[in-house]
Structure 1
Amino acid sequence: MPTVPEQPTTYHLITEVLVHIFDLPEDELHPDATFHALGLDSLALAELAITVEEDTGCRLEDLTAEHTLAQAAEAVAARLAPAMAPAAVPPPAQAALEPAVAPEPAVIAESAVTPGAP
């Protein structure tokens, strides 16, 4: 039985491209299928990589005919993971343990204008 891809979102993106752009029958697509077994050559793989990059912003490099659909999906997901990670937000438990730091008071420069001057 074929293994279920860990990243169904990227897997489904790739299979959708293969069905709609390359006219491959959906019932032939499974995670363990290699691009070679699906009949894709290096030119078709380059087109697939360009389409995935246009759809996700993720460059799919070093894709060969011997890679499986699951491997390609995992590669896209791995490249997208850093972009999807939250930006330097501490975990809630750690944030609760950190002491609150009061902001430093703002320094307001004294004006060179004499009070009451026109």
Structure 2
Amino acid sequence: MSYEELKSVLVSLGLSEDDISPDATREEAGLDSIAVVELALVLRREKGVAVTEEEIGATLTVADVAALVGAR
């Protein structure tokens, strides 16, 4: 999954497109603990990407999340 695809998923979860950039931290992008759970669920169910909340929570930036998801 590319950064742009991930950004689209994050926006669909209600995060502000203006806050999402590759170098934004998860917190700056609005990816709090609830959003992390929602993201992991959407990635598993709708995108077929097996990633856990813990793995997403261990990332620092949006680019790190995209790299994690892209590696799956």
TM-score by length of 1: 0.51
Preserved CA contact (<8 Å) 1:36 1:65:
no
What secondary structure does 2:71 align onto?
helix
1:20 aligned partner: 12
Alignment of 1:17-56 (within 5 A): 17-22=9-14, 24-56=15-47
Gaps of 5+ in 2: none
Once residues 55 and 32 of structure 1 are traced to their aligned partners in structure 2, the CA distance between those partners, rounded to angstroms, is: 25
* Identity fraction in percent: 39
Once residues 55 and 10 of structure 1 are traced to their aligned partners in structure 2, the CA distance between those partners, rounded to angstroms, is: 15
- Of 66, 69, 72, which aligns to 1:73? 66
Gaps of 5+ in 1: 1-8, 80-118
Q: Which structure has the higher relative contact order (CA within 8 Å, separation 6+)?
A: 2
Structure 1 stretches of 4+ moved >3 Å: none
Once residues 71 and 17 of structure 2 are traced to their aligned partners in structure 1, the CA distance between those partners, rounded to angstroms, is: 25
> Which is richer in helix?
2
Instruction: Indicate the RMSD between aligned Cα atoms, in angstroms.
Output: 1.9
Once residues 52 and 69 of structure 1 are traced to their aligned partners in structure 2, the CA distance between those partners, rounded to angstroms, is: 15
Output one character per residue of 1:78-102: Cα deviation in whole Å (capped at 9) or x when no partner.
Answer: 11xxxxxxxxxxxxxxxxxxxxxxx
Give the Å deviation of 1:11.
Answer: 1.3
1:82 aligned partner: none
Once residues 42 and 33 of structure 2 are traced to their aligned partners in structure 1, the CA distance between those partners, rounded to angstroms, is: 14
Q: How many residues align?
A: 70
Output one character per residue of 1:28-85: Cα deviation in whole Å (capped at 9) or x when no partner.
Answer: 2110111111233212101111111223211222111752111111111111xxxxxx
